[in-house]
Amino acid sequence: MSDPIPFPGDLPPLIRENGPGGDATRALVDLLASVECPGLTARRRRREELTGASHDPIVWAQARGTNVLDVDGNRYVDLTGGFGVALLGHGHPEVVAAVQAQAGTMLHALGDVYPSAQKILLESRLAALVPWAARVILGLSGADAIEAALKTAMLATGRPGVLAFEGSYHGLSYGALAACGYKLSFRAPFAEQLNPAVRFAPYPSAEAVERSLDAARVVLAEGRTGAVLIEPTLGRGGVEPAAEGALAALAALAREHGALLIADEIYTGLGRTGTWFQSEAMGCEPDIVVIGKALGGGLPVSAAILREGVARPWGTSVGEAIHTSTFLGNPLACAAALASLDVLQRQETAAMIRRCAASIERALRASLQAPGLGVRRLTFAGMLVGVTIEGGLRRALAVCRRMLERGYVLLTGGVDGDVLTLTPPACMTDEQIDGFAEALAEVLSEHAAP
Ligand SMILES: Cc1ncc(COP(=O)(O)O)c(C=O)c1O
C-alpha cells in the first residue's frame, strides 16, 4: 500500500501514476454493476460508445473542503460541490460537530406526531428566512419539497394545472417529474402516470422572454393552472438565468389568473448565486420558495417555505397528517441544517462566496476566451457557472473524462449536454481556481471542436 495522500481539503489534485480507476475502484464498480439497477450509476456504456474512452465512475472514499479522495487514494478537486450541496465545502467542521453531537443523543424522532426540538427549531429558522409570514413543510430531497409545493398549490387554488418551463429540472418523483422540462427522455417512459395538466412554456431567458410570457399568458388564461413553477436560473438545464423582470412578470401574471408562483431555489438559493434567494434579488415575490441541496450541508433535508395564506387551505391536522413521512424532520438532518444555516448566514460566508465567485470568473475569462478552445459561452451566476462548448455532448464528455484524469471532478449539463457546469464549494483557493482554469484550457485545446 502506498503512502496516504495528504488531505486537508484545500489542495490541488494528486493523481497516481495509473490514473483514476485502480484495483479498489474496479472491484467496487464490478460489484456495483452486478447489483444496482442498471439504469442508474453502472458503467456509462453509452458514454463509452460515444467517446471511445472508459467512463467508469470513481468511488469516493473521503470528502473534505474542496477535495475528494477516491478508494485508490487519488485526490481530486470537486468542481461539482457534490451536486451543489457542499457550498460551504465538504464536511464543514461546524456541520460535522453538530451531526456528531446529535448522533450521540438521538438519531430519529416521530416526525409529524412527536417531533424533535431540532425539527421545530429548523422550521422556525426557515420561516424567518423570508420577509413574509411563513409556514414550512420539510422534506428529505429537493423533489420531496417540490411535491409539497405542488400539493399546496392544488389545495390553495383547487386547480390541477402546472405551468413549467422547457429545460427546467425539479427532481424525478412523479409530481416533480411531470413538471420537468429538462429532457423528454426522463418523462417519456412514465408519461401515462404523470399529471396530464402540466403545460410547458419556453424558459424566459433573455432570448426567449417575450415568447415565454406570451405562452404563459395563453396557458394561464385557460384557467386550469394552479402553479407556475420556475427556477430563477436553470441549473441542470445549462446555467441559463431568467431575463431581467421575467420572474416578477410571471408572478404578476400568476396572481392575475389565480395561480401561485413557486420559486425552485434548490440550486440557486442560500447564497449559491451570490444573494440569499435569487428570485428575491430578481424582484419577484413568490408564494412558495423551495430549498434543498446546501441546506443540510451534506445531509438530506429540504423545505417548501409557504406564505401563511397559501398554507391555510391545508387545514388543521385532525390526527393523521395527510402529508408526512417516516423520516420527516429527521433530527440528524435538522441539526446539520441548523449548523449550516449558522455558517451560511454569516457575513464572512457571503463575502467568501462573493470572493470565490469573482476569482472563478476572472480565471475563466482569462483562460477560456483564447481562440481555438471551442468555448461558445461563459455564464456566471455567482457560484453557479456554465461553460458552453462547441462539439456537443461527445466533446463535453471527453473533456470531463480528461479533466477527471487530471484530478478535477466536473459534470456536463444543459439539454444538449454541452455545458460544463461548475457548482464548486466557495472555499476553493485561488491556486486551485487558477490550476483548474489552466487545466481546462489545455484539455479543451487537446480536444479540438470538430
Ligand atoms: C433546481 C432543482 N430542483 C429540484 C432538484 C431535485 O432535487 P433532488 O435531486 O434533491 O430531488 C434539483 C436537483 O438537482 C434541482 O437542481
Banded model confidence at residue 8, pLDDT cuts 50, 70, 90: confident
CATH class for the region spanning 93-344 = alpha beta
Parse the chain into domains and list their residue ranges. Answer: 23-78+348-446, 93-344
C-alpha cell at 161: 394545472
- Are 383 and 351 a contacting pair, CB within 8 Å? no
CA distance 386 to 81: 14
Between the CA of 105 and the centroid of ligand 1 the distance, in Å, is 31
Q: What average pLDDT score do residues 378-403 get?
A: 96
Q: What are the pLDDT digits (tens) for 125-157?
A: 999 999 999 999 999 999 999 999 999 999 999
Query: What are residue 46's phi and psi, to 5 degrees?
Result: -65, -35
Ligand 1: does its nearest atom lie under 6 Å from the Cβ of 272? Answer: no
CATH class for the region spanning 23-78+348-446 = alpha beta
Banded model confidence at residue 6, pLDDT cuts 50, 70, 90: confident
Q: What average pLDDT score do residues 302-330 get?
A: 95
- Which amino acid, residue 121? L
Q: Return the pLDDT at 42.
A: 64
The neighbour count for residue 365, using CB atoms within 10 Å, is 12
Does the pLDDT value for residue 406 go beyond 50?
yes
Ligand 1: does its nearest atom lie under 6 Å from the Cβ of 375? Answer: no
Does the pLDDT value for residue 319 go beyond 90?
no
Between the CA of 170 and the centroid of ligand 1 the distance, in Å, is 5
Ligand 1: does its nearest atom lie under 6 Å from the Cβ of 182? Answer: no
Q: What are the pLDDT digits (tens) for 323-356?
A: 999 999 999 999 999 999 999 999 999 999 999 9
Q: What percentage of the chain carries pLDDT values higher than 70?
A: 97
The runs of H, that is alpha helices, within 52-105 are 81-84, 93-103
- Which amino acid, residue 305? I
Between the CA of 120 and the centroid of ligand 1 the distance, in Å, is 24
CA distance 59 to 74: 10
Ligand 1: does its nearest atom lie under 6 Å from the Cβ of 171? Answer: yes
Nearest CA to ligand 1 atom 13: 171
Query: What is the DSSP secondary structure assignment for residue 35, as one 8-state letter?
Result: H
Does the pLDDT value for residue 206 go beyond 90?
yes
Does the pLDDT value for residue 2 go beyond 70?
no
Ligand 1: does its nearest atom lie under 6 Å from the Cβ of 238? Answer: no
Does the pLDDT value for residue 438 go beyond 80?
yes
The residue to mutate among 267, 291, 325, 415, having the most atoms of ligand 1 within 8 angstroms of its beta carbon, is: 267
Banded model confidence at residue 68, pLDDT cuts 50, 70, 90: very high
Mean pLDDT of the chain: 95
Banded model confidence at residue 1, pLDDT cuts 50, 70, 90: very low
Residues 6+ away with beta carbon under 8 Å from 304: 136, 137, 139, 145, 146, 148, 149, 152, 288, 289, 290
Banded model confidence at residue 40, pLDDT cuts 50, 70, 90: confident
Banded model confidence at residue 39, pLDDT cuts 50, 70, 90: confident
CA distance 86 to 210: 36
